[in-house]
Structure formats: C-alpha cells, structure tokens
Amino acid sequence: MFRNSRDRFMAFSDGVFAVILTVLVLEIRLPTGSQLLSSSWLHFAYAILIYVAGFSLISTYWYFHQKLFSQVHRLTGKLIVLNFYCLFFISLMPILTQVIAMDPLSKSRSFIYGLVYLIFNIYLWWLFRVVEQLLRHLKPWTPVERARANHQIAIVRNTAIVGLIACLCAWIWAPLTPLILAFSPLVRDVTKIF
C-alpha cells in the first residue's frame, strides 16, 4: 500500500517557497557605475521597493500556508491538488515581479500584479474555510479554538481587502501597489487590535 506523506508535503512546499523567495532577489539589477547621476538609481530604488513587496507577500503567504496545514494530520489527494494550485500561484511571483520591474510606472502592469495577488488571496481565504470545515468534521472545537480559527480567517480576509485596495491604487500612481503590498504583513497586527 502506498500512502501520502505529510512530512514530505510540508518539506516540498517549504522548498518551493524558499527558492521562490531567493529567486526574486536575482531579478534586481544593479545600476552600473557610469550611470551614477542618471535615472538608473531611481530604477534601482523601484527595484528594491518591488523586491520588498515580493518578500512581504511571499513571507505572508508562507505564514498563512504553515498555519493552514499545521493541524492537518491526514492528507487527502484533494488537499495535495489544492496545495499545488497554491504553489502554482506562488511560482508566478518571479514573472509578475519582472512584469512590474520592467516598467514600474505602468498603471496596467501594477494592476495586473495586484490583481493576481488579490485572486490568490481570495483563493487562500477559500482554502482556509475548506480546511476549517475538514478539521471541524474530525473533532469538535472548543469555543476558544473556534474564536482563534475565526480570527485567523479574518486576517486572511483582511489581507485580501488590502490586496483589493492595492489593486485599485495602481490607477492613482503605479508604485503605490507594491508600496501597499510591502506593508501587507502589518494586517496581522491590525486585525489583532480590532
């Protein structure tokens, strides 16, 4: 008999997250020395901003991902497939970063960038609800556990709302999208307050 291995599922996902995170940094191009006073330093600043935004997003998603599967002790084939869709979105990060890095002032590019993350965030939110149902089904939750789970799902929903705002702000000024997304990890702390 062949079974699904939970440990390898986690190790593989972590590997993909770790490689994507470090691949992002390879996209940053340094301004060459002779262009010290030209616009290349401004492009470099945009590149750093875009990198920070990418780093924030991937670390936020990794954080959600490890929370999501922390209590899933028995993997079904369906969860593995849903996780691969999740990794597929994550793996698009380097291309999306390229899309936005090639022309940081293009409003449509920033919008596409924001939109993909908005869609991913909604997908992640839906995934949390799927896993929540699965876990509840296995073992009834205490009120404290239910409150914590609801709080966690609220964080994911609020992150999606921030994604929507970032997406719309692209039409005001393109670099606003990565700027807002760079601060998206703060959603976790803000949700705690309310």
Binding region for a second copy (CB under 8 A):
1-5, 7-12, 14-26, 28, 30, 32-33, 55, 59, 62-63, 66-71, 77, 80-81, 84, 87-88, 91-92, 94-95, 98-99, 102-103, 106, 128, 135, 141, 145-146, 148-149, 152, 185, 188
User: In the complex, what is the shortest distance from the CB of residue 132 to a second copy, in angstroms, rounded to a whole number?
Assistant: 8
Which residue carries 């770790």 as its tokens? 18
Please, which residue, 115 or 168, has the CB nearer to a second copy?
Answer: 115
Please name the residues in contact with 24: beta carbons below 8 A apart, sequence gap of 6 or more.
51, 54, 55, 58, 93, 94, 97
Comparison of 121 and 164: residue with beta carbon closer to a second copy = 121
CA distance 175 to 178: 6
Distances from the Cα of 39 to the Cα of 32, 35, 76, angstroms: 11, 8, 52
CB of 166 to a second copy, least distance (A): 19
**CA–CA dist 4, 111 (Å, integer):** 39
Choice between 16 and 166, CB closer to a second copy: 16
Indicate the residue among 52 and 168 with the shorter CB distance to a second copy.
52
The token pair at 185 is: 């990890």
CB of 164 to a second copy, least distance (A): 23
Q: Which residue lies nearer to a second copy by CB, 122 or 152?
A: 152
Residues 118 and 185: beta-carbon distance below 8 Å: no
What are the φ/ψ torsions at residue 80 (nearest 5 degrees)? -65, -40
CB 46 within 8 A of CB 106: no
In the complex, least distance from residue 28 CB atom to a second copy, rounded to whole angstroms:
6
